[in-house]
C-alpha cells in the first residue's frame, strides 16, 4: 500500500483515478481546488506537506473545448503552467519519490502526421485555438526532463487523447465534444447546431481506461520520454455526432455552422509506446463508452436530460 496524492482528485479524470487506486488498497489523498489553489506557491507547499505522499499524480488543470480556449487563452496558459511549475518544484523540495504529470493531445503541432507519435511533439506550432493551453502543458515536459537531469526527480509525462465518460463536464460553455453533443441532443430534440463542418477527426479515450493507463504508467514506467495514452482509433466529428444521436435516440436535424472554427484537422495517437513500456491497451469501444456516458447522464442530471 502506498500514500498517493492526486491533484484534481475531485475532477472528472481524478475521481476515476482515485477510485481505481483505492480499489488496489492505496491510501489516496484527493486534493481539490477549494482546498488548494495550486497557482499559489504557498498552497502547493501546504498540499505536499499535508499529503506526505510517496507518489503524486498531477491532474489538476483549467481546460475546456474550443469555445473555452478561445475565451480564456491567457488564463489557460498561466494557470496550467503555474500549477505545473509549483507541483514540480514542491516535488523536488520535498523529495517526492515519484511524480506523474498529465499532458494533453493539444500539445501536438497542428499539422502533425497521423497517427501522432511522441517524436513529433516539437515539429511545429499547436492548433491556434488551444495553443496557449497546449504549450503550457508541453513546457512541463521540459521541466520534468530538466529536473530529472539536474535533481534526479523521478517524473513521467503522459499525453492522453480526448477523454469522455461518466462525470464529464456537461457545461455547454466549457465542455468537450462528446458531453456537449449528448446534452444538446437531449435538450433540443428537433435541431442541434454544431461548429465547423464535421470533417475534423478525433480520438476518444474512455475515462476508466485512462485511469487504468495512468496507474500502469506509475507502476511500470520511469523514463524521460513522453508517452501517448489512447486507442489509436480515429473518428470524425460528423461520425461522432451520429453515434451520439443513436445513443440518445435523437431524430432531429444536425446543422453545421461553417462560420465557426473546426479546430485541429485530425487527431489520432500512436499508442504503441504505452503498450510496449507498461502494457496499456484501451478496452472500451467508442459506441459502448458513449452508451455508458448517456446512461450515466440521464440518471445523474435529470433536469438536463429529459427522458
DSSP line for 90-143: HHHHTT-SEEEEE--GGGSBTTPPSSB-GGGTTSSPBPGGGHHHHHHHHHHHHH
Cell reading at 61: 488543470
Cell reading at 254: 444536425
Of 11, 213, 221, 229, nearest to 99 by C-alpha is 221
What is the rounded distance in angstroms from the CA atom of residue 205 to the CA atom of residue 160?
Answer: 8
Give 2's DSSP letter: -
Q: Catalytic annotation on 36?
A: no
Which residues are CB-contacts of 211 (< 8 A; sequence separation ≥ 6)? 13, 16, 17, 19, 20
Q: How large is the C-alpha radius of gyration of the chain? A: 19
What is the rounded distance in angstroms from the CA atom of residue 131 to the CA atom of residue 108?
Answer: 9
3-state secondary structure of 305: coil
CA angle 188, 192, 198 (to 5 degrees): 150
Given the residues 36, 133, 147, 206, select the one marked as catalytic.
133
Of 192, 307, 295, 282, nearest to 247 by C-alpha is 295
Active-site residue set: 133
Amino acid at each position: 500500500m502506498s500514500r498517493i496524492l492526486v491533484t484534481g482528485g475531485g475532477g472528472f479524470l481524478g475521481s476515476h483515478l482515485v477510485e481505481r487506486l483505492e480499489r488496489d488498497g492505496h491510501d489516496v489523498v484527493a486534493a481539490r481546488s477549494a482546498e488548494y489553489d495550486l497557482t499559489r506557491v504557498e498552497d502547493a507547499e501546504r498540499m505536499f506537506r499535508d499529503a506526505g505522499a510517496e507518489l503524486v499524480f498531477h491532474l489538476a488543470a483549467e481546460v475546456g473545448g474550443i469555445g473555452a480556449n478561445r475565451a480564456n487563452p491567457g488564463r489557460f496558459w498561466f494557470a496550467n503552467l503555474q500549477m505545473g511549475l509549483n507541483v514540480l518544484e514542491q516535488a523536488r523540495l520535498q523529495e517526492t519519490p515519484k511524480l506523474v504529470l498529465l499532458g494533453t493531445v493539444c500539445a501536438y503541432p497542428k499539422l502533425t502526421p497521423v497517427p501522432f507519435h511522441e517524436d513529433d511533439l516539437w515539429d511545429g506550432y499547436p492548433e491556434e485555438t488551444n495553443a496557449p493551453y497546449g504549450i503550457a502543458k508541453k513546457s512541463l515536459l521540459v521541466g520534468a526532463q530538466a529536473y530529472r537531469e539536474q535533481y534526479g526527480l523521478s517524473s513521467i509525462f503522459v499525453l492522453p487523447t480526448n477523454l469522455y465518460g461518466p462525470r464529464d463536464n456537461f457545461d455547454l460553455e466549457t465542455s468537450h465534444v462528446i458531453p456537449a453533443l449528448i446534452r444538446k441532443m437531449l435538450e433540443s430534440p428537433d435541431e442541434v447546431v454544431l461548429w465547423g463542418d464535421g470533417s475534423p477527426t478525433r480520438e476518444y479515450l474512455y475515462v476508466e481506461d485512462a485511469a487504468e493507463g495512468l496507474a500502469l504508467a506509475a507502476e511500470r514506467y520511469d523514463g524521460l520520454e513522453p508517452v501517448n495514452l489512447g486507442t489509436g482509433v480515429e473518428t470524425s466529428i460528423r461520425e461522432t455526432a451520429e453515434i451520439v444521436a443513436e445513443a440518445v435516440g435523437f431524430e432531429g436535424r444536425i446543422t453545421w455552422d461553417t462560420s465557426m472554427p473546426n479546430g485541429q484537422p485530425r487527431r489520432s495517437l500512436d499508442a504503441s509506446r504505452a503498450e510496449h513500456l507498461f502494457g496499456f491497451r484501451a478496452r472500451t469501444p467508442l459506441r459502448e463508452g458513449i452508451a455508458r456516458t448517456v446512461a450515466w447522464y440521464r440518471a445523474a442530471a435529470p433536469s438536463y436530460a429529459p427522458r
